[in-house]
Amino acid sequence: MDIAHKDSPSLLRRLTPGDALFTLALIGGALFALRQYGGFMDIYDKAILLLTVPALAALGVTWKPFRLFLAVSAGLAVCSMTLYGGDLARAEQVFFLKYLISSQTAIMWMSALFFIATGAYLLGLAARSNFAEATGTALTWCAVTMGTTGLFVRWYESYLIGTDVGHIPISNLYEVFVLFSLITGLLYLYYEGIYATRRMGAFVLTVISAAVAFLLWYTFSREAHEIQPLIPALQSYWMKVHVPANFIGYGAFALAAMIGVADLLVRHGILVSRLPAAKVLEDVMYKAIAIGFAFFTIATILGALWAAEAWGTYWQWDPKETWAFIVWLNYATWLHIRLTKGLRGALLSWWAVIGLLVTAFAFVGVNMFLSGLHSYGSL
């Protein structure tokens, strides 16, 4: 057996026909989008679109289930757009739009599916039922698929309202809460696959459910789901890279915190037989914080570049910026302690849990309690 090749095979060797098909579909999709919607993009938007292709292709190659997920989400979004046929009013007339794949409906499905998935994982944990946990996984996949479809369709709908209104749906608190739920869900599914254990689902899905609960409250009592046009400061291609990078960070930190909770339980002898070993949990927590920190660093820098263009200064200690800096410091310290001091154990888990509070304040609290330049989507 030649393990060396299995150990570090060349990229080409790992490619399956499915990967090739996926990459071709991505290229096709990007070219179609350029041809169809290129008129709404400036040169930077086009560059970002083209760079998305290799990024998603790499993700699909390293994480195979992602390919099917993206294909189904995109397929549903295309169905929805076809059913709309350029007329917003059809959301009320066409059955499949009204009850399945218009943006709001899809997001409602996402919310419901996340709730049921949480229930399934909790049931699996309580009853030691592999079937319930497998159901949880399937439902989580369905939830992220519906949510992604919802965001794609919302993007399209915004242009139907008016070409001057149209924009990528990651511009206010409502939209980024959907994004947060999606990214946290996807990150969780990734680690679930890598570590081949579904036992962490009950914890991670709980934090997603909390986000979804907030989303529903925000929709029903504040009517926050209405698509709003962009104020001048937000009209920039930078949003397309700054916001997603930020939410990979937030999502990963949230995931790490919930794994930290599980780790603390295990360390205190609770649910030991039902949860993965502390060693596994610790490893997932580290991986999540590492990826979160790397992307949060990128996001903060991208934010600074954007701020330099929009507000004339790359850093002005605006409350959101300052809290982003505090979050960054927090996880920088966490990594220093773990990597350099080689410390392990309950302290790091506690730190990750408290880190979520700091992150949550930077994410939502700043908008609620402090005023500043980032005050879009107040409560």
Contact call for residue 176 and another protein (CB under 8 A): no
With CB under 8 A as the contact rule, the residue among 26, 108, 143, 266 that binds another protein is 108
With CB under 8 A as the contact rule, the residue among 78, 79, 161, 264 that binds another protein is 161
Helices (H), 200-345: 201-222, 238-267, 278-310, 319-335
What does 44-87 look like in DSSP terms, one character per residue? Answer: HHHHHHHHHHHHHHHHHHHSTHHHHHHHHHHHHHHHHHHHHTT-
With CB under 8 A as the contact rule, the residue among 30, 74, 165, 353 that binds another protein is 165
Structure tokens at 89: 């009013």
Contact call for residue 50 and another protein (CB under 8 A): no
Q: Which stretch binds another protein (CB under 8 A): 57-65, 68-76, 197-205, 312-320?
A: 312-320
CA–CA gap between residue 297 and residue 327 (Å, rounded) = 10
DSSP state of 336: I
Helix (H, G, I), strand (E, B) or coil at 237: coil
Q: Which of 210, 62, 202 is nearest to 129 (CA)?
A: 202
Contact call for residue 15 and another protein (CB under 8 A): no
Contact call for residue 242 and another protein (CB under 8 A): no
Contact call for residue 304 and another protein (CB under 8 A): yes
Please, what is the minimum distance in Å from the beta carbon of residue 335 to another protein? 8
Tell me the residue length of the chain.
Answer: 379
Give whichever of 132 and 356 is closer to another protein, judged by the CB atom: 356
Give whichever of 123 and 216 is closer to another protein, judged by the CB atom: 216
| Cα dihedral sign, 126-127-128-129 | negative
Please, what is the minimum distance in Å from the beta carbon of residue 325 to another protein? 6
Contact call for residue 131 and another protein (CB under 8 A): no
Contact call for residue 200 and another protein (CB under 8 A): no
Contact call for residue 333 and another protein (CB under 8 A): yes
CA distances for 49 relative to 27, 52, 146, 150, angstroms: 10, 5, 22, 19
Number of residues that bind another protein (CB under 8 A): 79
With CB under 8 A as the contact rule, the residue among 128, 336, 345, 346 that binds another protein is 336
| Cα dihedral sign, 266-200-353-300 | positive
Please, what is the minimum distance in Å from the beta carbon of residue 355 to another protein? 11
With CB under 8 A as the contact rule, the residue among 126, 130, 138, 226 that binds another protein is 226
- Which of the residues 54 through 83 are near another protein (CB under 8 A)? none
Contact call for residue 297 and another protein (CB under 8 A): yes
CA–CA gap between residue 239 and residue 236 (Å, rounded) = 6
Contact call for residue 192 and another protein (CB under 8 A): no
Contact call for residue 114 and another protein (CB under 8 A): no
Rounded to 5°, angle at Cα 230 from 228 and 234: 140
